[in-house]
Structure 1
């Protein structure tokens, strides 16, 4: 019987976990001695996080705290696309970090070309913000999973719908 197997490569972020990570980071910042009296804030919007602080050192420390909380909540820090640090009013600094949800067309093509270059006998198909991998052997699919995990595409990837 010539059955085929498939799975999807996705980049999904659980927004409830992001909210929890932001709240934990805010709690840690409020309790830390080096942030006493500081005007540091983290604001979660729909698909981005705005971080505001009084100097660049505290801003970078806040970003590191937030990344640590992401890891503790099971979210990859690669899910954050941190923008350029801007100066704000009264000598403060701010940065906007976008939450990457879904695989962009460019990243999907990059992953697709890497899989094709490996000569593993599978078919790849870009479906909106995910990538479907189909093959006749489960071993080939496992090989593709290993290949994608080994390469760094600068996005958080998950493997779902393994059939």
Structure 2
């Protein structure tokens, strides 16, 4: 039976390249001269922006979003945290969302079942597996899921006949 997996993943190599490009642009911009502003990775799935003021953080966030979009990463995978100001430093934590959370997966399964297509959808960890008898039904499910607003980018992989 044909099947495919629905996942939400970010290419870590492309993300690292986007961070490097953003940091290079920040180093060369006139409004950041002597500001000691940096964008770095914090932990496995997070970014941290550090600068002297909230205004600079907002400028850095704009640069980061442009560089990430240019590298082909969907910006919906980023979730802004709280801005923390302490003395002369401001920091902003940004979470990189990966995987499909259980609430979104349940909504996807319900949407697929409500479509009355002859397919089965099952949740397998942080991904969703869809199986059916015909490849055409699977392509209709892909179009259905692409059209929905799930709050994160979706990729379709492991298409098997």
TM superposition score normalised by structure 2: 0.91
* Alignment-derived partner of residue 63 in structure 2: 65
The answer as to 2:116 corresponding to 1:119 is yes
SS in 1 for 2:82: coil
Aligned partners of 2:115, 2:61: CA distance in 1, in Å? 36
The answer as to 2:9 corresponding to 1:12 is yes
SS in 2 for 1:85: strand
- What is the CA distance between 1:119 and its match in structure 2? 2.1
SS in 2 for 1:39: coil
- What is the CA distance between 1:91 and its match in structure 2? 4.1
Aligned partners of 1:26, 1:98: CA distance in 2, in Å? 18
The answer as to 2:45 corresponding to 1:47 is yes
Aligned partners of 1:104, 1:53: CA distance in 2, in Å? 32
Deviations 1:97-121 (A, max 9, x none): 1111211111211221222222222
- What is the CA distance between 1:39 and its match in structure 2? 2.9
Aligned partners of 2:22, 2:115: CA distance in 1, in Å? 41
Aligned partners of 1:111, 1:29: CA distance in 2, in Å? 40
How many residues are aligned here?
Answer: 159
Aligned partners of 1:95, 1:110: CA distance in 2, in Å? 31
Aligned residue among 81, 98, 107 for 2:104: 107
Gaps of 5+ in 2: none
Aligned partners of 1:104, 1:18: CA distance in 2, in Å? 21
TM superposition score normalised by structure 1: 0.90
Gaps of 5+ in 1: none
SS in 1 for 2:159: coil
Alignment of 1:75-94 (within 5 A): 75-87=73-85, 89-94=86-91
The answer as to 2:28 corresponding to 1:37 is no
Aligned partners of 2:38, 2:123: CA distance in 1, in Å? 38
* Alignment-derived partner of residue 139 in structure 1: 136
- What is the CA distance between 1:141 and its match in structure 2? 0.9
Q: Which moved more, 1:44-53 or 1:126-135?
A: 44-53
* Alignment-derived partner of residue 72 in structure 2: 74
Aligned partners of 2:90, 2:111: CA distance in 1, in Å? 39
SS in 2 for 1:162: strand
